[in-house]
Structure 1
Amino acid sequence: MLPASHRLRRSDDFRRAVRSGRRAGRRAVVVHLLSQAGPDQGGPARIGFVVNKAVGNAVLRNRVHRRLRAVMAARLADLPPGSLTVVRALPASATASYGELESDVDGALRRVLEPR
């Protein structure tokens, strides 16, 4: 489970991460990461999820959301403090196994965390 202090909730934060952050896509997911500098730097890394209707019906969307939440909860220590991360599920995530989601998220995270 993702702790409450690590959840991204405000639409402004989602918008900032998607528009200003680094982006990396894989077959099933796209990861947006905004590493913030400033007064929020010391706060916890926060993560949000976008699973829209293109993924499937409500049952499939909820399953994908739960799986992505579990994958990201295990990777909290890898994220920079104060960063905003948005994980967007693509339609292929509905048929992807948990292992495939893990490898897609890991590949995308490696890409957005590498130095420019």
Structure 2
Amino acid sequence: MLPAAHRLTDPAGFRSATREGRRSSSRTLVTHYVAGTGPVRAGFVVSKQVGGAVVRNRVKRRLRHAVRELLVRDALPSSGCLVVRALPASATASYGELAADLARCLDRVHAPAA
């Protein structure tokens, strides 16, 4: 579970991250990040295209755990909103694949614009 201070729950935060933020995608997920104030907050979007309720919840748990590990290692930015959207391929991906894709997408999102 993510600490309450790091959970993105308000619709305005999701909207600003997806519309105004930088985007990066991989085979299993898409990340949106927008810089802001306060601690970094993460939110997850897992649609029914990913699978049934059991599969969607498993994917959400794996993504939450991967983000929590990045928080512990201080691998996330200090502030802003991060939205992680799972793609249908995430249903069959292992935890290692999801964590690697998340790290790769975050590196691309935080890279300076060319």
Same-fold status (TM-score > 0.5):
yes
Match of 2:69 among 64, 74, 77: 74
Code of the aligned partner of 1:101: L
Counterpart CA distance in 2 for 1:80 and 1:102 is: 17
1:109 maps to 106
SS of 2:51's equivalent in the other structure is coil
Give the root-mean-square deviation of aligned CA atoms: 0.8
Match of 1:51, as an amino acid?
A: V
How far off its partner does 1:81 sit? Answer: 2.2
Tell me the matched-pair count. 111
Task: Return the match for 1:100 from 80, 97, 101.
Answer: 97
SS in 2 for 1:78: coil
Alpha-carbon separation, structure 2, partners of 1:73 and 1:56: 24
SS at 1:72 equivalent: helix
Separation in 1 of the partners of 2:39 and 2:10? 15
Offset, 1:115: 1.4
Structure 2 equivalent of residue 53 of structure 1: 48
Runs of 4+ aligned structure 1 residues displaced above 6 Å come to none
State the TM-score, normalized to the length of structure 1.
0.92
Q: Distance in 2 between matches of 1:74 and 1:33?
A: 18
Structure 1 unaligned regions, length at least 5? none
1:91 to partner: Cα distance: 0.2
Aligned counterparts of 2:76 and 2:103: Cα–Cα separation in 1: 12
Deviation at 1:80, TM superposition (A): 2.0
- Paired letter, 1:54: Q
User: How far apart are the structure 1 equivalents of 2:80 and 2:34?
Assistant: 6
Match of 1:35 in 2: 35
Unaligned runs of 5+ in 2: none
Percent identity of the aligned residues?
A: 55
